[in-house]
Amino acid sequence: MRTFIICVLTLGAGSATAQFNGKLIYQLDQNGNRTVMQYIQNGTNAIVSAYTITLKNGAPDTSTLHPQDTIIFDFAAATETHLQYHTMNAYKQKYMGNMMAAAMAAKGNALAGSVAVTAAGSGTVNGYSCNHYVITSSSKLGTSTKDVWTTGSIGGSPTLWVVGAFTYYTPGYPHFTKLTAAGASGVVVQVNSSYSKQGLQYSMNLVSVDTKFIPRSRNYFSVPSRYNLIDETNMNFPGSGN
């Protein structure tokens, strides 16, 4: 069974901010572990890779390095391909957000009310001039809150926004729709998140920016030949109908 847990919000083509090209690296420390996420975009393609590592006395223990499955995004085709390294399968599917949107429409958008986004002013975070947004989500698991700070001073908006560890929100997710409606754009600089029932909290920070990064080959965003490609683009999100 595949599980994908890294949080990304996608900006649509209607955003007034120019497209971001380059490399962003985020870091999240929680419960003695560090998650590092790398996002690279060039044109209509992007790739997200991540790993977790245990901290001992505040320093990374390289013997505990655990890579996460890499995801390749084709924005023109609205697909994402998950490279599952331990099986060497590459699962190609439609944007999860698009399937989520179809499922919500089939249910009369009954799920949309569980997510609210408010603009909460501006301020300086990690040295960047930022706008602040608060995402509040409710479910059977309780209420979660994300404080998201974005900046327009880095240059462009990534088509994907990393906002936490281990979940990807692509176009169609209510978080995406409501954030953009609230005016969110630019690059995510910091996210603070908390969950009421579980008592979980984390803070994720942008730690590196390289707007001059250029992929080393034309095949950088292609599925490596050593992977077995499995096309699941005809599959629908449960409840979305045919």
**Rounded to an integer, what is the distance from CA 100 to the centroid of its chain?**
15
Among 154, 127, 129, 164, residue whose Cα is nearest residue 213 = 154
Domain range enclosing 203? 8-231
Name the pTM for this structure.
Answer: 0.84
- CATH number of the structural domain spanning residue 148: 2.50.20.10
| Averaged confidence pLDDT in the chain | 83
Beta bridge partners of 56: 59
Mean predicted confidence (pLDDT) in 95-109: 60
Who wins on pLDDT, 45 or 237?
45
pLDDT at 30 (0 to 100): 85
pLDDT reported for residue 10: 47
Q: Could you tell me how many residues make up the chain?
A: 242
Q: Is 3 within the bounds of a domain? A: no
Please, are residues 147 and 134 in contact by the beta-carbon 8 Å criterion? yes
Per the domain annotation, does 123 fall within a domain?
A: yes
Look at the chain and report how many structural domains it folds into. Answer: 1
pLDDT at 12: 45
Does residue 41 sit within a domain?
A: yes
pLDDT band at 138 (very low <50, low <70, confident <90, very high): confident
